[in-house]
Structure 1
Amino acid sequence: MNILYVVGEFPKLSQTFILNQITGLIDAGHHVTVLAKKSESNYKIHEDVSNYHLLDHVIYYDENGRDNKFSKGMTFVKSLFSFSYSQLLHKKHPTHLSWKALLSSPNLILLYNRLKKQPLLDMDIVHAHFGPNGLLAHKLIQMGLISGRLFTTFHGYDMLRYIRQKGDDVYKDLFQSKAVLLPISNFWKSKLEGMGANPTRTIVHHMGIDVDKFEYLPIKMNQDIKIISIARFVEKKGLSYGIQAVSNLIKKGYNITYSIIGGGPLEKELRSIISNKGLEDHIQLLGWKTQDQVIEIMKESHVVLLPSVTSHDGDMEGIPVILMEAMAMGKIVVSTYHSGIPELIKHGVNGYLVEEKNAKELVDTLKNIFDMEDHSSIIEQARETVSRQFNICELNKQLIDTFERKIH
């Protein structure tokens, strides 16, 4: 099959779940093209991007996306003029979209101008990640610029924050089309159907990991406790609650090193919290790392902490892949009753969950973990859960089967 992936940034270091799908499809003999707005500014890329020569198969439609606002504005004006000129020359223009719709979606104008001379009409499947990209792909199909059966994966922010911004009926056209919706959890499937999605075309498809890449390396708890978090520095990751909990545990006499990998808009705020609490010797912000570097750091860690919360603007997680990776490596995972996370972690069975924004409960849970002598059952169950339910090799087979069933 010829498969087109429609995404925002590619490659993006924090979105290994998309990369794992793409490489899995290529391994299965399918041809994959990526239609992306721009590349991530982070200079680090996953080794599979190079190993599979993926950049040779990417089409960018906003190559000036990193310019200043004036330059981006000029690019849009030029693109709008080009679009208008094309409409005057071709009365039977493929789009039936109103000017209002076009002006409200600058990306659609950019996509038109990128694809008008070389439309992607040989695709069997169009797979969009995140709802807004699904809407764009649906419009491009209507405009005759791409072809193929549309599948849209919903992750999290596209179900809450985006809807708050755009309105409750933002996905109406997508729901009424023949597009297949692939929420990454039962939590999001329920939300979609509550909004009007057709249950027969709404199929849960989990993100997953290549379990074999993650060596099972449990470490017995000792007096020098190592905790790690890997996340973008944004509100929904709840990192401030992790810092607060570690601070309280240090006050109780525990010797903890807390390493936080990532970056983002809250970095200055997090550094300020750490400094104000005098925790520079215990808590380190390490910046972004490649997956191999993350694995090396995780090997030496006892606990992987991700205290996710619902942000003030309604943004939420999906099911964070980093938790799957940690569980595969035999690490103790601690997270929250948030979004689809309880579909991965069962409290006291294969990991631990606390209520959102509850630093005290987080302290009590971590203290119990530190004081517990035997964690073997928890970490064995964790590895087993990921191997059975979140194994990317099996999930990619299921995805291919879903594609083939829906196009025949």
Structure 2
Amino acid sequence: MENPISSQPRLLVLAPSRRAVSETFVRANLQGLPFDVTAFFGDERPFNHPWRFAYGLAILLSKACTRLRWLRLASWPASVVTFGLIRLYRPQAVMVEFGFEAVRVMEACAWTGIPFVVHFRGSDASARDRLGLLKSRYRRLMSLAAGVIVKSQPMAQTLMALGARPDRLLISPSGANRALFKGSAPAIAPPVFLAVGRFVEKKGPLHTIRAFSLLETETQPREQRPQLWMVGEGPLVEEAKVLVQSLELQDRVHLLGLRRQEEVASLMREVRGFVQHSLVAPDGDSEGSPVAVMEAQLSGLPVVATRHAGIPEVVLEGESGFLVDEGDVAAMAVAIAKLIKDPALAARLGDCGRRRVLEGFTIDHHLRQVSGLVLKVIEESSS
């Protein structure tokens, strides 16, 4: 990733972490962008690489200042180190993953005149401990950024209200991997439904379980009763296990833990449909545009989800899936029941979703859009 003789445009990428399982979209950017990429991560502090150690330590100091509500001071430690990184690697542009990371390093870009693009993902533009706390710093960020990438129309509206320029703002969901997610056959699959996501409030795993508990199953043979497979880990897992037991769903709801992308793609080829009850969490945290929803549609699955954040921009109501209001578990159960009773309907919806994602919501689409914006800001800065 650090190639001083490359003829490609040089891009410095700064991100909170490369290790988080949920940050597959960050890794996709690093691997797929057509640039000579040098990347630094805020949670890495290797002693054998002084600059990486310095950046990780600076981010740690910035976090401490933020917790103390010293918000202006919080921009200094990482900005000072980033200034050195810019001098050392001489990038033609900087891309920062997540708004909260961008406010930590934005002053370095202002000092050097290097254009930078900030990539918002979800909680950084919604949760109170991010958006609420950093609102004044985000206004400064919007005045400095040469480009802003968001996941959905609601996120775009939020940031434009803070000063983001519409002509520098790109709405681009992270996209699904067409090489992995394919081949589902809901018309012949058993009545099994898949949920994929962290067990956190905004993913609504407990709502999904409650919706599933409302399905009428008494008249069905035990072996034909619908099942729910849930992939993921997180703080609500134990509560989910207790809920499954209290609803006596142990034989029909299965918590599968973390799975690799390849395993998730394989599971999608075994089920009738995909379910996700996304909603605004108590702390304000919201989705961007959930990648798992796009992966499910690309596989050819019908989706039952909520009218939340960017989901309605991807899932067409009645055409590629069913959308219900946040918190309406009864409506979600009705939608799931339709797919149980009518496998041919599930297949038609899934086929529409597959074509829709192929036309505009793959990783390739996302990478082309992001690359185009970065090249645009590089060209404008050099002209």
Match status 1:227 vs 2:235:
no
5+ unaligned residues in a row in structure 1: which ranges? 40-55, 66-71, 81-98
Partner of residue 293 from structure 1, selected from 263, 272, 292: 263
Partner of residue 396 from structure 1, selected from 336, 343, 367: 367
Partner of residue 257 from structure 1, selected from 227, 231, 237: 227
Opposite residue 192 of structure 1, the aligned amino acid is: L
> Aligned equivalents of 2:91 and 2:176: distance in 1?
26
Partner of residue 2 from structure 1, selected from 7, 10, 14: 10
CA gap of 1:135–1:387, structure 2 versus 1, over 3 A, is: same
> Aligned equivalents of 1:357 and 1:122: distance in 2?
49
Match status 1:283 vs 2:253:
yes
Q: What is aligned with 2:30?
A: 22
| 1:232-381 paired onto structure 2 within 5 Å | 232-249=198-215, 251-253=217-219, 255-375=225-345, 376-381=347-352
Say if 1:5 and 1:126, in contact at 8 Å, map to a contact too.
Answer: yes
> Aligned equivalents of 2:182 and 2:207: distance in 1?
29
> Aligned equivalents of 1:321 and 1:347: distance in 2?
18
Partner of residue 189 from structure 1, selected from 136, 156, 160: 156
Say if 1:183 and 1:204, in contact at 8 Å, map to a contact too.
Answer: yes
Secondary structure, aligned partner of 2:282: coil
Q: Which moved more, 1:109-118 or 1:371-380?
A: 109-118
Say if 2:201 and 2:281, in contact at 8 Å, map to a contact too.
Answer: yes
| 1:74-89 paired onto structure 2 within 5 Å | 76=61
Question: CA-atom RMSD, angstroms?
Answer: 2.9
Q: Deviations over 1:202-246 (max 9, x none)?
A: 222231123133222223256x42111111110000111110111
Q: Deviations over 1:48-87 (max 9, x none)?
A: xxxxxxxx9x94657689xxxxxx9xx859x99xxxxxxx
5+ unaligned residues in a row in structure 2: which ranges? 1-8
| 1:100-111 paired onto structure 2 within 5 Å | 100-101=70-71, 103-104=73-74, 109=77
> Aligned equivalents of 1:360 and 1:285: distance in 2?
22
> Aligned equivalents of 1:117 and 1:232: distance in 2?
34
Query: How does the TM-score come out when normalised to structure 2?
Result: 0.84
Say if 2:191 and 2:272, in contact at 8 Å, map to a contact too.
Answer: yes
Q: Deviations over 1:2-51 (max 9, x none)?
A: 112221121322122222222111xx3x2212221126xxxxxxxxxxxx
Give the Å deviation of 1:169.
2.5
Say if 1:336 and 1:355, in contact at 8 Å, map to a contact too.
Answer: yes
> Aligned equivalents of 2:86 and 2:131: distance in 1?
35
Q: Which moved more, 1:128-137 or 1:164-173?
A: 164-173
> Aligned equivalents of 1:390 and 1:33: distance in 2?
26
> Aligned equivalents of 2:54 and 2:214: distance in 1?
48
Q: How many residues align?
A: 356
Give the Å deviation of 1:180.
0.9
Opposite residue 378 of structure 2, the aligned amino acid is: I
Q: What is aligned with 2:3?
A: none
Say if 2:288 and 2:309, in contact at 8 Å, map to a contact too.
Answer: yes
Q: What is aligned with 2:105?
A: 137
Q: Percent same amino acid at aligned positions?
A: 24
Q: What is aligned with 1:50?
A: none
Opposite residue 38 of structure 1, the aligned amino acid is: D
> Aligned equivalents of 1:345 and 1:249: distance in 2?
23
Match status 1:170 vs 2:147:
no
CA gap of 1:62–1:200, structure 2 versus 1, over 3 A, is: closer
> Aligned equivalents of 2:249 and 2:340: distance in 1?
20
Say if 1:153 and 1:181, in contact at 8 Å, map to a contact too.
Answer: yes
> Aligned equivalents of 2:302 and 2:179: distance in 1?
18
Q: Deviations over 1:95-152 (max 9, x none)?
A: xxxx9446546xx5367468758954411121112111121231232465xx732101
CA gap of 1:76–1:397, structure 2 versus 1, over 3 A, is: closer
Query: How does the TM-score come out when normalised to structure 1?
Result: 0.79
